Amino acid sequence: MKKKPARTEATTVGAIDDEALRYTAGRDVELDLALVEADCIGSAAHAVMLSRLRLNPPLFTPAQLRRVLRELAAIRRAAARGEFTIRPADQDAHLAVERTLTERLGELGRRIHAARSRNDQVAVDLRLFAKRELLGALAETAALAATLLEFGERHAGVPLVGRTHMQPAMPSSVGLWATAGCESLLDDASVLLQAYELNDQCPLGSAASYGVPLPIDRQLVSDLLGFSRPIHNVLHANNTRGKNEGFILFALGQTMVTLSRLAQDMILFSMPEFAYFRLPAAFCTGSSIMPQKRNPDVLELVRARAARLLADAHVLQEILRAAPTGYNRDLQETKEPFLNGLASARATLRVMDRLVAGTRVDEAACRRAFTPDVFATDRALELVVGGTPFRDAYHHVKAHLGELRARDPVEALMRKTHLGAPAGLDYAAYRERINALRETARAETAEFDAAIRRLLGR
Amino acid sequence: MKKKPARTEATTVGAIDDEALRYTAGRDVELDLALVEADCIGSAAHAVMLSRLRLNPPLFTPAQLRRVLRELAAIRRAAARGEFTIRPADQDAHLAVERTLTERLGELGRRIHAARSRNDQVAVDLRLFAKRELLGALAETAALAATLLEFGERHAGVPLVGRTHMQPAMPSSVGLWATAGCESLLDDASVLLQAYELNDQCPLGSAASYGVPLPIDRQLVSDLLGFSRPIHNVLHANNTRGKNEGFILFALGQTMVTLSRLAQDMILFSMPEFAYFRLPAAFCTGSSIMPQKRNPDVLELVRARAARLLADAHVLQEILRAAPTGYNRDLQETKEPFLNGLASARATLRVMDRLVAGTRVDEAACRRAFTPDVFATDRALELVVGGTPFRDAYHHVKAHLGELRARDPVEALMRKTHLGAPAGLDYAAYRERINALRETARAETAEFDAAIRRLLGR
Amino acid sequence: MKKKPARTEATTVGAIDDEALRYTAGRDVELDLALVEADCIGSAAHAVMLSRLRLNPPLFTPAQLRRVLRELAAIRRAAARGEFTIRPADQDAHLAVERTLTERLGELGRRIHAARSRNDQVAVDLRLFAKRELLGALAETAALAATLLEFGERHAGVPLVGRTHMQPAMPSSVGLWATAGCESLLDDASVLLQAYELNDQCPLGSAASYGVPLPIDRQLVSDLLGFSRPIHNVLHANNTRGKNEGFILFALGQTMVTLSRLAQDMILFSMPEFAYFRLPAAFCTGSSIMPQKRNPDVLELVRARAARLLADAHVLQEILRAAPTGYNRDLQETKEPFLNGLASARATLRVMDRLVAGTRVDEAACRRAFTPDVFATDRALELVVGGTPFRDAYHHVKAHLGELRARDPVEALMRKTHLGAPAGLDYAAYRERINALRETARAETAEFDAAIRRLLGR
Amino acid sequence: MKKKPARTEATTVGAIDDEALRYTAGRDVELDLALVEADCIGSAAHAVMLSRLRLNPPLFTPAQLRRVLRELAAIRRAAARGEFTIRPADQDAHLAVERTLTERLGELGRRIHAARSRNDQVAVDLRLFAKRELLGALAETAALAATLLEFGERHAGVPLVGRTHMQPAMPSSVGLWATAGCESLLDDASVLLQAYELNDQCPLGSAASYGVPLPIDRQLVSDLLGFSRPIHNVLHANNTRGKNEGFILFALGQTMVTLSRLAQDMILFSMPEFAYFRLPAAFCTGSSIMPQKRNPDVLELVRARAARLLADAHVLQEILRAAPTGYNRDLQETKEPFLNGLASARATLRVMDRLVAGTRVDEAACRRAFTPDVFATDRALELVVGGTPFRDAYHHVKAHLGELRARDPVEALMRKTHLGAPAGLDYAAYRERINALRETARAETAEFDAAIRRLLGR
């Protein structure tokens, strides 16, 4: 058989219509820049594995392997400097890397795609990319949780009118409010960790979903890439594309729901009519027409970005639901929402951290808000302690609302001492959970970095 | 203070407009029947805890507590027999139970609502209800996974044209297809288990979200109800309403996505043009006009029910995202999608189990479908083994597609021996994972049952 | 050929599995009660048309036709009295009506299904049902728009702090706020009218989507049923199932978005910290634990019900998107969201009408809210009138915010006289648009009623 | 008052935090490039109107107005050449245009923002932009409808196995299938036209939602910009932001649902197992690993892009639902989905047009697919014509399915002559509807172009 020149364009059936090419490539040429690093790493592991196959002649001799790894490292560095480009004819990062390898290494570049398909390349690339992003998101969640905890502890004794239905309800505290946010983020992080664990499986070796008639070593590839284990069934490996991303987005969506609700509270608390909180000026913006304006734009955008991320998580599920198993091109449309969602959630975590840290509490305004009716339930429960059945006490207070008197709100708080109440919060336990989360993120990152370093240096 | 007669209607501000009452109650009077049992259980734990408060006079003496528990047990049994009714004026299960207790026990009934609100009642009720449903769903997931495993193992050697883009791609097997479904369900179960764990926390004691000025013992209530722990922050406890349900629905949604995709495959495989599979007649329906029809209605409905459940999971997130923290009445609208979603997912798991079990594979039809082009990649990889760079081999085969010859598909399968490929599947490992899942569901159920029995008998 | 006894169950291939039957029937046996009336009407038109086919022997002689119509009228009346039941074995309204006819009329009942399928029955039933509901919704929209207009006109001169970003922005008025809602509803009604027009096409005669080899007269059926025209292509007729409902839900969703935003405003305006509005007591509810509570539950539920309706509109599109053309059973899952959405939107329109009508405005509270900074833009525009470039005036005022003085808010309003500004509103034009809408709904209803009466009496 | 230098940054309260700036600006600096042209047009109309205000001194003398218009025209041309840039400090197109004007014209640039806000600028810009896009989409819809009509007419007599539940059902034709798509697009276009009409209203003059104390002439601005009328209520004008875009996306979503379903059919029809259709090679793509592949990627992406557009339409509604009235920054997040959705829908219309035009029908394959059971219903209806009640005929055929004989499918088609059936299609009526649509798009475009030309030349 005569050797052919490298022809990457030939992966298409023939000449593709220009409009169809634009339609099918979508924004991939641009979006895939985020995946070049992961593609080099995944290709490196694949090449190492191929070089160990007992074929004669071998796919790569040790020397050839070193050359391949060197070029992959070079491409990776170029991408990090923003100097690697994906051409429209490449269609995506995967063929761009193969083309570049082939331009530089000739036949060695044409060897690298043995026993894999673009489908499992993009699958492994997205998981490698997501792994680092998730570790970042976990660390940022820990940071924001710590900021909320610190905010809560600093204002543990500042009374706040607790609300239900947005109406004044019962005495609460800034400490309770802030640690509720903190605990919510910690719950959310447990979901994110579960998404991290499912993501931490190696799909490579699925090829076109059905495996290959070569004795490839999928366990080795998984180990080289620092994954916890390979996905077993190769068809399942392919089927997880999109679904894995969907769970990650959902998990981030839980965090966004927490932050959206905190944002709503903070918008309310910082309205001049309430003035419990004063947002840092550097996080507010003005108006093009109204000179006096000082708007909580960041908080409003948190609310709207949460909506978009939730919709993106949903659409990923929908795209999958409607597709049969095995790879379908529909999956390409899951990439942009996924990359956007990751970036959006992490930006939100970071900006909220600084915004909360810079928010000032006006204790006097908080106290002024306590009208007598806020103590109605406390009064009814006093009657209960005195022996009145609760329902009777409730009706009595209700019939005599006008007789309620203002009380010292801090004193009222101090009497709520049971577990998790304003005066029964265990700040130390929160700190411990946050530290454990931070430590998990740190340790996993170190392990992942070490695996990549062993494979491709730097 | 003079004793008042029991007046449950007085929990509203005054006389409520009839249209407004219908609008606010929605379908609660009907839906809440599902929660009466949980409400009795939660109330029993609450009453035990109240009776242990060191108040003088005590809220319930030991004898009074026994009477309360006896009546709660009676209501629970009545509900199980379908003989408990919620009146429109009750609005919901919680006030219906309180009213009934008061009718039967007078003052003791009026005592029970001390230190709690309907909000944390519904929160604990939904978590108790969900706990049992989730354990059921986990067991049903294990059952369907086992059925798919058995189906796959039985047809391990039956060749199937593997598809991508719905087009013939490479040799696959019924074994690979069925265990891909099995592995997907096991992944989904791990998400469901995470949802189970987050659900397994006790919210009671949150009251109106801000705790109470009484030394209630939230740890005791949590223990009595068999929860793993109380939610700490009382405001957070309330904020998890809806969000907890949303995660559960999402987790079930993952399962539904798996099943929807399997359903799509099975619809295709059982079309007369393919005829790989023959669906059990008892799971097909006919037409009112076309005498020859034999339609895969169940599979089509799986696809559509998946869509509805995903949308319901999404709307729960949306309702929460848009609400400030603390209880807001918007949350009522999360109940119906939640109860429907649980029921729909479980029904789907059960019906799919029986449908898969009854499906017959037509091996001859499966074999007939293997046209020569399905072996194109195998051929290219043979050239690779012979030393040709993959990309060159690919182009060679592509240029000579007409020369491809039919092969024995089983032989082709037998050469895919690597981990997770058609001839490299570890059926025993699947069995182990299924058994572990089944055992978890069994053990948790037993423990939960025991806790409830200790509290309320039977 | 020997005559067979009526066997409606025989429309299924054979005996269907019980679990499968429950799964496929879903809530149809219950939901379809809403469609019995429409089914009788549609069947009546179909029978009339069949009787006019020039067949020998005719499908129905004039006397036979009269008997069929009489029985259909009887079934319709029974359904209206709640005395018609659909048995599980019937599966749906369509076979229940055919079975009942057959029980009463023998062979005549067995003749009625010639040249139609259940698919086009349900299609025509849903369109007939939707027609009446839409006319109701249009009338209710007109009523609420009139109430808002009246509310706005009554409080045309009451100043309100206009907000952007929820922060005080510029002087506004209750009149501007209320008529903004009114105009929004009128825009929404134009979308609803477009949905009404698309709905007003007759699908009958599609049979199983592909027409029949009989010379049926689809134009006649369409005319008898009072539709504006038949859908032309029979496959398209079937394909509109679900899509028609989806557009209707979307159009109602536009209305719900308008109402949800009004509800949010009203929740804010009626918080004690604002107290601009006082909601009618009969539309507020209390708390089971807090004696002082007076919660805007109705408004919160409007917000949440809007979310559910939007999600239902979305899921209908999704179910369709993922299905090939021609009938697929997935469509069954569009029925429940559709019926629920119609009922929910109409209930919301009605309850909001009464709630707005009963809301009181506290003019003094509205005036008190005007702090000097609300006039900042007015001040900058005064400088503009005096010759200062706007951007300079803006910066000047911004630099001297402390020098702003309180002004009379009504005077400030009176100076906004341009088209559509607080003092430039054309109340009469609104009234005209509302009357036109009301008249359209009335005239269409009358015409529809007349057609049905001609067909089936009463 | 002393003149100040131009300071666009001063529209923010003070120095804004860098992270907050990135977060709030989002992708606006990039996305807003699409709006620069519209911003110049809108600003031109605003400047003309300001120049006619009877102020002394006037805001713009005739000579000054000419200079402003000349610069706006220059910016517009620069933007068209891709030579206009929005700086991060500008935040958006509106301030970038104002800054550029001010750099070039000094005080005249600082005058232009009198009596308007960025909010109504973006509102009018989006409507102007959308107007042109919608006219394009309408023309493209007409083109694709014409292509489908032509495809249908050309293959009017080619039989196709009609399917329900994806199973063979009854005889159909390629003509019926293609014109069903055509009629669906024409229905969709009627929704799009309704969206066009609602979009065709001018919001300018709303300022910050509450109007201004200057006698601005909103009718004049509306006329200058070629809108059919101004939105009346200024608060409503602002509230339509996002909602207008949502309806447009929904309307495009209807079209996408039509195209997604057509795509599903075409994927099926072109599978080798069916081979009814042969897709044009230039619209298919290959595989990186499987040499034989020829995948219908375009059609798969149509399906997935439909999902994304539907989700984007939904999220717009959701963002609005959750926001109170008046401008809220959440609205910024509606811009990207809107611009993406418009572009995606139009690209889909264009690519489908060329793909359908290039698709070949294999009549022999279509005929081969007709198995005897496809004629079962035709047989039952023959018995009906002979006098057998339909239900009896149905059961008879069902009991004797084995006796069904193959028939000539074309003959079977020819007997379905009623309105809208395969042999009863009115191709001329379709052509008329398409021409009317095309003419509407053409005439509206001409009128819009003329208005813009009068205002800003070229």
CB contact under 8 A, C207 and B307: no
Q: Which chains touch C (3 or more CB pairs under 8 A)?
A: A, B, D
Record: contact B401-D376, CB cut-off 8 A: no
- Between helix B36-52 and helix B93-105 the angle, nearest 10°, is 60
In whole angstroms, give the CA distance from residue D192 to residue D141: 10
User: Which amino acid is located at C326 in the chain?
Assistant: G
Instruction: State percent of chain C over pLDDT 90.
Output: 91
- How high does pLDDT run on average in chain B? 94
Alpha-carbon distance of B400 to B411, in angstroms, equals 23
Above 50 in pLDDT, residue A12?
no
pLDDT at A4 over 90: no
User: What's the confidence (pLDDT) of residue C400?
Assistant: 96
Sign of the CA dihedral running B182, B184, B190, B196: negative
Average pLDDT on C335-350 reads: 97
A55-101 pLDDT tens trace: 999 999 999 999 999 999 999 999 999 999 999 888 899 999 999 99
Helices then strands (H, E): number in chain D?
18, 6
The pairing of strands C159-164 and C360-361 is unpaired
* pLDDT band (50, 70, 90) for residue C11: very low
CA distances from B284 to A96, D165, D401 (A): 49, 11, 17
Question: Residue C18 is encoded by which pair of tokens?
Answer: 């019980």
pLDDT at A8 over 80: no
**Confidence bin at A25 (pLDDT 50/70/90):** confident
Report the C-alpha gap between A299 and A164 in whole angstroms.
21
Q: Report, as an integer, the average pLDDT of C351-366.
A: 98
B400 assigned to active site: no
Tell me the chain B residues in contact with residue C300 when contact means C-beta distances shorter than 8 Å: 328-330
Q: Which of D113, D117, D222, D287 is catalytic?
A: D287
Residues 6+ apart with CB under 8 A from B94: B39, B118, B121, B122, B125, C288
When pLDDT is cut at 50, 70 and 90, the band that residue C46 belongs to is: very high
Task: Decide the pairing of beta strands D360-361 and D277-278.
Answer: antiparallel
Confidence class for position A7, pLDDT limits 50, 70, 90: very low
CB contact under 8 A, A326 and B425: no
Average pLDDT, chain A: 94
CB-based contact A252:A137 (threshold 8 Å): yes
Q: What is the pLDDT of residues D182-209, one digit of tens each?
A: 999 999 999 999 999 999 999 999 999 9
Does the predicted model carry a pTM greater than 0.90? yes
How far is C272 from A383, CA to CA, in rounded Å? 27
Tell me the sheet residues that pair with B160.
Answer: B172
D13 has pLDDT over 50: no
Contacts of A411 in chain B (CB under 8 A): none
Whether the CB of C169 is below 8 Å from some CB of chain A: the reply is yes
Kindly tell me if the per-residue pLDDT of A3 is higher than 60.
no
Structure-block tokens of residue A25: 């490539």
Q: Which residue do the tokens 């895939």 mark?
A: A32
In this prediction, residue D3 carries a pLDDT of 41
Give CA–CA dist B215/A415, Å, rounded: 9
State the pLDDT at residue D14.
58
The per-residue pLDDT for D6 is: 34
Is residue A218 a contact partner of residue A145, using CB atoms and an 8 Å limit?
A: no
CA pair distance A333, A329, nearest whole angstrom: 8
The answer, for A318 touching chain D at a CB cutoff of 8 Å, is: yes
Evaluate if residue B58 carries a pLDDT over 50.
yes
Judged by DSSP in three states, A369 sits in coil
Question: Could you tell me which residue, B182 or C285, shows the higher pLDDT?
Answer: B182
| A16 to A13, B397, C186, D201, D294: CA distances (angstroms) | 8, 20, 49, 42, 11
pLDDT > 70? residue B12: no
Please count the other Cβ atoms lying within 10 Å of the Cβ belonging to residue B45: 26
pLDDT of D418 strictly over 60 = yes
Q: How confident is the model at residue C14 (pLDDT cuts 50, 70, 90)?
A: low
pLDDT band at B1 (very low <50, low <70, confident <90, very high): very low
Task: Of B341-345, C125-129, D21-25, give the lowest mean pLDDT range.
Answer: D21-25
Q: Is A264 on the interface with B (CB under 8 A)?
A: yes
D204, D297, D325: best to mutate for the A interface, most A CBs within 10 A = D297
Whether B322 and C337 lie within 8 Å, measured CB to CB? no
CA C368/CA C161 separation, integer angstroms: 10
pLDDT at B14: 59
C-alpha closest to that of B418 among B430, B427, B426: B426
Closest CA to A273 of A161, A356, A178, A352: A161
B7 — pLDDT class (breaks 50, 70, 90): very low
Whether the link from the prior residue into C272 is cis, omega within 30° of 0, is no
Whether the CB of A279 is below 8 Å from some CB of chain B: the reply is no
Which residues make Cβ contacts (< 8 Å) with residue B381, sequence separation at least 6? A114, A115, A212, A213, A214, B390, B393
Q: Which of D301, D318, D334, D336 to mutate to test the interface with A (most CBs of A within 10 A)?
A: D301
User: B168 touching D, CB under 8 A?
Assistant: yes
Distance between CA D261 and CA C327 in Å, rounded? Answer: 12
D400 is annotated as an active-site residue:
no
Minimal CA separation from D119 to chain A, in Å: 9
pLDDT at D4 over 70: no
Residues B300 and C322: their CA atoms lie apart, in Å, by 11
The percentage of residues in chain D with a pLDDT greater than 70, rounded to a whole number, is 97
Instruction: Please check whether residue C164 is in contact with residue C182, taking contact to mean a CB–CB distance below 8 angstroms.
Output: no
- Give the separation between CA A109 and CA A11, rounded to whole angstroms: 15
Confidence grade of residue D88 (pLDDT, cut at 50, 70, 90)? confident
Q: At A368, is the pLDDT very low, low, confident or very high (cuts 50, 70, 90)?
A: very high
pLDDT at C195 exceeding the cut of 50: yes
Backbone angles phi, psi at D234, to 5 degrees: -70, -30
D36-69 residues labelled b (16+ CB within 10 A) or e (exposed)? bbbbbbbbbbbbbbbbebebeeebbeeebbebbb
pLDDT(A9) > 90: no
Contact indicator for B455, B128 with CB cutoff of 8 Å: no
The answer to whether A366 touches A159, Cβ cutoff 8 Å, is yes
Choice among B28-37, C151-160, C350-359 with the minimum mean pLDDT: B28-37
- Work out the angle at residue A357's Cα, subtended by the Cα atoms of residues A356 and A358, and round it to the nearest 5 degrees: 90
Is A292 in Cβ contact with C397 (below 8 Å)?
yes
Q: D418 and C211: CB-CB below 8 Å?
A: yes
Which of B220-234, C177-191, D85-99 has the least mean pLDDT? D85-99
| Predicted confidence band of residue A14 (pLDDT cuts 50, 70, 90) | low
Is D1 within 8 Å of C388 when comparing Cβ atoms? yes
Which range has highest mean pLDDT (A25-39, B137-151, D285-299)?
Answer: B137-151
Of C116, C283, C319, the CB nearest to B304: C319
Does the CB of A392 have a partner CB in chain B at under 8 Å? yes
Give me the percent of chain D exceeding a pLDDT of 90.
91
